[in-house]
Amino acid sequence: MHSIHRSSTNGHLIRRAAIAFAAALSFGGVVAHPALARASSDRPSSNQATERTIGSIETVATFTGPMPTGVSVTETGRIFVNFPRWGDDVQATVAELRDGKVVAYPNAEINHADASHPATHFLSVQSVVADGRGRLWVLDTAAPNFSSPVAGGAKLIAIDLATNSVVKTLVFPANVMRERTYVNDVRFDFRVGKAGVAYVTDSSLSGTGGLIVIDLDSGNALRRLTGDVSTSADPGFVPVVEGETLKVRDANGKSAPFTVASDGIALSPDGKTLYYCPLSSRHLYSVPTAMLRDPSISEAQLSAAVKDLGEKGASDGLESDANGTVYAGDYEHDSIRKLEPGGEWQTIVHDPRVLWPDTLSVGTDGYLYFTANQLHRQPVFHGGKDERKKPYALFRVRIGAGPAPTF
């Protein structure tokens, strides 16, 4: 009887608590909404809280054709973009934005993917970079659809912006190429060597990542940090984009991890430090460029000199400005972040329109330009279904700084 009485008392207390809670809902300034009694798929109303945005971005251009990756703004304000041959109908893999139009650059002929003349035609360009000295450099992967690169096709091509003509072609020598090499992005320093050097990331999807240093005078090149932890996809990395785990998925429901090695790259204003990151990672790394260029430095010595600068978010592209600030996309959070010289990260852009921030470029006008190309919505991640929604976009945000010097 005692236990029954205690149970009855507890039930009485629960009923009293429920009545009090209901009264609070009715009279305490909170109204119980009928939707609480049923599942609701209503969109948020104007008076409901939503995720806040950060930064004021401007739309520079939109693209209704193939998806872009790279962008570069020259010292005179010209804007160049590129469209890798990943499966879209790509007529021009390099183009200039002119009067609201996408115009093949420097001409339509060189943009014709002629694998029988791999050194003189653009096969599949991943990055374009203006060097601040009147030239646009084109980084050709020679690997359409992420195939093995066409022999003799992976190259750097310099175009004179005054004459719009090719003035230098550097084919990557065989000693730095691997079967699945994918030359992804590049930064330049004309303060060292006879004609300067270029630093290039190899972001191989199925092989080993690494960094390539190429002498712009001789064309000789070194391959460094191949397979190093800092240039490799993080084996424990599981990206989540738009609320979904990002994996390669086929039409039969089978999935595999999306692994991309060293991708983003940026150079400090003094040219002494190279920043880089694997796409399949949230970490930022740095290495002294003097050691990177020195063939007498062993791989073990070089690896020991690499600094893990901690987590920055998952990034595709990186960039730096004249003040030493490093910028990084954060594709998991539709954001752009910056690393102050003091070592603190700050989000400068967070906006639902920034669907996969890819490449970043600092203009002399004090803006950071970046492409948003919905890379994660491609068919390869969704069982063959293309979930991209055109147009793709080129945005910019005010940063109040110019590009890092190269000379």
pLDDT band at 3 (very low <50, low <70, confident <90, very high): very low
Structure tokens at 247: 């994996």
Give the residue from 405, 399, 400, 396 showing the smallest Cα distance to 370: 396
138-172 residue pLDDT tens: 999 999 999 999 999 999 999 999 999 999 999 99
The rounded distance, in Å, linking the Cα atoms of 144 and 87 is 8
338-372 residue pLDDT tens: 998 888 999 999 999 999 999 999 999 999 999 99
Query: Which residue bears the tokens 């062993």?
Result: 298
Asked whether residue 85 carries a pLDDT value surpassing 60, the answer given is yes
Query: Which residue bears the tokens 């490799």?
Result: 232
Q: How much is the pTM?
A: 0.89
Whole-number percent of the chain with pLDDT over 90:
87
Structure tokens at 53: 């945005």
Q: Where are the domains of the chain?
A: 2-27, 58-398
Average confidence score pLDDT of the chain: 91
**Record: fold of 58-398:** Neuraminidase (2.120.10)
| Residue 42 confidence (pLDDT) | 55
Structure tokens at 255: 């999935």
Q: CA 169, 171, 176: angle at the middle one, nearest 5?
A: 150
Asked whether residue 323 carries a pLDDT value surpassing 80, the answer given is yes
